[in-house]
Amino acid sequence: MIGIRLISDPIKSLGFASIGVGYMGIGTEFDESARAIVVNNLTDAPLFLSWNGVDDHITLPLRGNLLLTISINKEDESESFSLPANSRLYVKQLGVPTSGSVYVTQFRGINDA
């Protein structure tokens, strides 16, 4: 039986002082496709989240989080959903943060023999 081992890449972050009225990328692009993503808004203001850096897609409440389990239980990656490699998440102000950061953790799978 082939199993999938779920591993986490290093956390990406963006501090409150860098979050403005226009979208800013959170860390760098993902090197690998993502099976699950956790976004933690540990600022003191609500934020907008975007997948393309242009459109508003999701609101993140202050001190809130978002968990996306995109394809966590799929063994075969050939036909499963994932956030593709070279993707990046973006945030902008919905309120004005004065402290904290927003964090993204990406989880990906690798096959165990």
CATH architecture type of domain 3-73+82-112: Sandwich (2.60)
pLDDT, tens only, 69-81: 766 555 555 555 6
Task: Give this prediction's pTM.
Answer: 0.83
pLDDT at 3 over 90: no
pLDDT (mean) for 10-31:
94
Torsion of CA 51, 55, 59, 60, to 10 degrees: 40
Give the pLDDT score at 13. Answer: 97
For 27-63, what is each residue's pLDDT tens digit?
Answer: 988 877 777 889 999 999 999 999 999 999 999 999 9
Burial status of residue 91 (CB atoms within 10 A of its CB: 0-12, 13-18, 19 or more): buried
Picking from 18-22, 26-30, 77-81, 107-111, which range would have the lowest pLDDT averaged per residue? 77-81
Q: How many CB atoms lie within 10 A of CB 70?
A: 15
